[in-house]
Amino acid sequence: MLRSPRSYLCNFLGTVYKNSSRENLMEVLKQDGLDKLCWIAAREQWQPQETNESFRIYQDALLQSDLTLCPVGVNTECYRIYEACSYGSVPVVEDVMTPGNCGNSSIYHSAPLQLLKTMGAPFIFIKNWEELPAVLEKEKNMSLQEKIQRRKKLIEWYRYFKAQMKHKFINILENSFLPNYKGG
């Protein structure tokens, strides 16, 4: 699926919370009919259980979209970022701190998404959804070949990222629980 044209510029399937940036995202998408270029399935209440059908729809949205919109929720970072990577759909990540518990600290005021930034994630980071129309305009002007190269780069980066995280995790476990272990 990396080489095929995709039907949608972007996707967002998720809950739109009252008075959140997700409401702003929906308003921006409705401007100038941008929502017609994207696969949008918004709901007002979070649903704790995924069904086989809803999971299939979500996978299809990722596979058929060049970009995956990743607005903050309770926390800045969420699973959507990583799922998009695995399907070659570039995350458009809202780069703001949330009042949630992940990384929110007066000591770590630059904490949002720090690991991804340090690892050189090939994402599109935005501070406000008002930036989205320009992102989508640029997207419309990209050739299929450029999109294919970007998808390959994203998939390769994600493979490298997972390997690095696995290596770090194993090192932490070995140093914590097997301090005298030398490997082998």
Does residue 2 lie within any of the structural domains? no
| pLDDT of 46 | 61
Task: Determine the distance from the C-alpha atom of residue 96 to the mean position of all C-alpha atoms in its chain, rounded to a whole number.
Answer: 14
Mean pLDDT, rounded, for 3-17:
93
Beta strand extents in 56-97 (DSSP E only): 65-70, 90-94
Q: Label residues 114-128 b or e (16+ Cβ within 10 Å = b).
A: eebeeeebebbbbee
Does residue 183 lie within any of the structural domains? no
Distance CA 46, CA 147 (A): 32
Does residue 3 lie within any of the structural domains? no
Does residue 90 lie within any of the structural domains? yes
Could you tell me the pTM of the whole model?
0.86
Question: Could you tell me the residue range of the domain that residue 43 belongs to?
Answer: 8-178
Does residue 1 lie within any of the structural domains? no
At 116-164, the pLDDT tens digits run 999 999 999 999 999 999 999 999 999 999 999 999 999 999 999 999 9
Does residue 184 lie within any of the structural domains? no
Does residue 156 lie within any of the structural domains? yes
In order of 15, 66, 183, the CA distances from 91 in angstroms are 17, 9, 37
| CATH code where residue 93 lies | 3.40.50
Our count of domains for the chain comes to 1
Sorting pLDDT into bands at 50, 70 and 90, what band is 113?
confident
Distance CA 90, CA 84 (A): 6
| pLDDT of 181 | 63
| pLDDT of 45 | 63
Tokens of 78: 């969420």
Residue 5 has pLDDT above 60, yes or no: yes
